[in-house]
């Protein structure tokens, strides 16, 4: 008996998951970079001063600009590597969500004050 081809099944994905995984992991990395930079800038004067890209906004300008660059560069790299591949999305999504969760914690001032 011929089994239906998985590609013809209505529930078979038409696209590989690599591109989505790249976007999700990069978003996690970008969020985490922002949280780490904000925390580092809060604790170390040298880093805080080096993050002043636009004086009226202060270190926030460097924290966010650097994090956005890290996010976009990592996204481009992952997209380039995984675009047409099927990757282990469960593990990647767990890492990305873990990074996002840590980021939310690291931006909460009472937690930053613990360091």
Partner 1 sequence: MEITVRGLWTLMHGMGFGALYLLACSGALVELHRFTTSSPPSEATPGQERFFKVYLLAMVVLAWAAVLTGAYVVYPWYRAAPPPGTTALAMFPQRLLMSSSTTIGWHSLGMEWKEHVAWFAPISITMVAFVFIRYGRDLKNHRQLRAAVLSFAVASFVAAGIAGFCGAMINKYAPVQGGHTIQLSQGEEK
Nearer to partner 1, 77 or 108 (CB): 108
Binding-site member from 34, 51, 74, 82 for partner 1 (CB under 8 A): 34
Q: At what angle do helices 18-43 and 89-106 cross, to 10 degrees?
A: 20
Residues of this chain, 56-85, that bind partner 1 according to CB under 8 A: 56-58, 60-61, 63-64, 67-68, 71
Nearer to partner 1, 73 or 97 (CB): 97
Dist. CA 24–CA 96, nearest whole Å: 6
Could you tell me the smallest distance in angstroms from the CB atom of residue 3 to partner 1?
Answer: 18
Do the Cβ atoms of 27 and 71 come closer than 8 Å? yes
């Amino acid at each position: 008996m011929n089994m239906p081809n998985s590609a013809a099944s209505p529930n078979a994905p038409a696209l590989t998951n690599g591109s989505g995984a790249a976007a999700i992991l990069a978003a996690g990395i970008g969020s985490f970079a922002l949280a780490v930079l904000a925390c580092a800038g809060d604790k170390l004067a040298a880093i805080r001063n080096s993050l002043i890209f636009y004086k009226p906004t202060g270190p926030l300008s460097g924290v966010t600009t650097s994090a956005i660059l890290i996010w976009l560069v990592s996204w481009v790299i992952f997209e380039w590597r995984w675009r047409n591949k099927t990757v282990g999305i469960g593990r990647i999504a767990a890492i990305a969500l873990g990074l996002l969760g840590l980021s939310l914690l690291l931006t909460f001032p009472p937690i930053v004050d613990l360091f």
